[in-house]
């Protein structure tokens, strides 16, 4: 499978979150061409501030591999991970991170973006931005547009 096909799988996860009223972010983890972890935001559903798409996918991948070290795994996520998820990505030993869209809307998030990209670089994580960027941005925009109308 190519990067776009994997990101489409992450978008399917984001759609699941959207349908649950969760911020529509989806993630998948791939090892040796197989999806070993899937996740979408469940913070509202589970009343758990750590139930971000990336964390949910990391937990599932670790269960499927039988250990917390996700060596030689790739994480596909529809939106740039937050600082908490960035720490989990580094700690789980993921070496490739593919991101649909950046989370930059003001100076504060721009500073966080720089911090995270430096953090990934220092930990030898290969990061690629912009895979299916429009689709990943659109689902978020649609969600927040609907939320503002309510």
Q: Which two tokens stand for residue 71?
A: 């060596």
Q: Which helix (H) or strand (E) holds 66?
A: none
DSSP line for 16-66: HHHHTTS---EEEEEETTEEEEEEE--HHHHT-TT--HHHHHHHHHHHHHT
Separation of alpha carbons 22 and 43, rounded Å: 7
> Which of the residues 13, 22, 54, 74 is marked catalytic?
54
Q: How far is CA 62 from the centre of its chain?
A: 16
Both structure tokens of 135: 């689709």
**54 in catalytic set:** yes
Residues annotated as part of the active site: 54
């Amino acid at each position: 499978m190519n990067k776009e096909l994997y990101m489409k799988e992450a978008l399917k996860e984001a759609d699941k979150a959207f349908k649950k009223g969760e911020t529509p972010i989806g993630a998948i983890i791939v090892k040796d061409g197989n999806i070993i972890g899937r996740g979408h935001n469940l913070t509202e559903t589970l009343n758990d501030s750590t139930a971000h798409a990336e964390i949910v996918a990391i937990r599932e991948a670790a269960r499927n591999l039988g250990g917390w070290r996700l060596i030689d795994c790739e994480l596909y996520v529809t939106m740039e991970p937050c600082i908490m998820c960035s720490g989990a990505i580094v700690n789980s030993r993921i070496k490739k991170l593919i991101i649909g869209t950046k989370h930059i809307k003001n100076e504060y998030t721009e500073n966080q973006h720089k911090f995270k990209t430096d953090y990934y670089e220092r930990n030898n994580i290969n990061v690629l931005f912009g895979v299916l960027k429009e689709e990943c941005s659109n689902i978020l925009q649609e969600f927040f547009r609907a939320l503002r109308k309510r």
